[in-house]
């Protein structure tokens, strides 16, 4: 559940400019400000079902953008490479194969950001 919430928050951070203003506002209220469906419905003077449907459409839109652009996936790949590099750097004596792996990680990060 927490992983799903983190995914939604990152997708929102990346793709929120591509949502409508109302979608952004409702997702912000629901996921960041912890408003209930009823509270959001009262704020916008619509039904709880309409709020639920709006949230579902906005989430589907975020997923559609991710499917097409893959920026969340790229971010995760970069974080994994950085974590691996950090782990290698924490060792006291770097061996030749570890230095080579660090070079590969750096090259991979450069390549992924240039595309």
Query: Which band of pLDDT confidence, cut at 50, 70 and 90, is reported for residue 82?
Result: confident
Specify whether 54 is located in the same domain as 106.
no
Query: What domain range is 106 assigned to?
Result: 73-114
What's the pTM? 0.76
Specify whether 41 is located in the same domain as 87.
no
pLDDT-above-70 percentage for the chain: 97
- DSSP states of 62-82 as a string? HHHHHHHH-HHHHHHHHHHHH
- DSSP states of 29-52 as a string? IIIIS---HHHHHHHHTS-HHHHH
Number of domains in the chain: 2
- Position 113 scores a pLDDT of 59
Question: Which contiguous run of DSSP H or E holds residue 57?
Answer: helix 48-69
Say if residue 92's pLDDT is above 80. Answer: no
Say if residue 42's pLDDT is above 60. Answer: yes
């Amino acid at each position: 559940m927490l992983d799903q919430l983190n995914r939604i928050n990152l997708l929102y951070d990346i793709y929120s400019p591509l949502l409508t203003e109302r979608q952004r506002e409702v997702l912000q209220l629901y996921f960041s400000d912890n408003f209930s469906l009823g509270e959001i419905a009262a704020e916008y003077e619509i039904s709880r079902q309409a709020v639920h449907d709006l949230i579902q459409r906005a989430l589907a839109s975020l997923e559609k953008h991710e499917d097409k652009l893959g920026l969340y996936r790229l971010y995760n790949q970069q974080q994994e490479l950085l974590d691996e590099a950090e782990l290698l750097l924490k060792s006291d004596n770097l061996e030749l194969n570890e230095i080579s792996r660090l070079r590969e990680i750096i090259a991979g990060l450069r390549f992924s950001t240039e595309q």
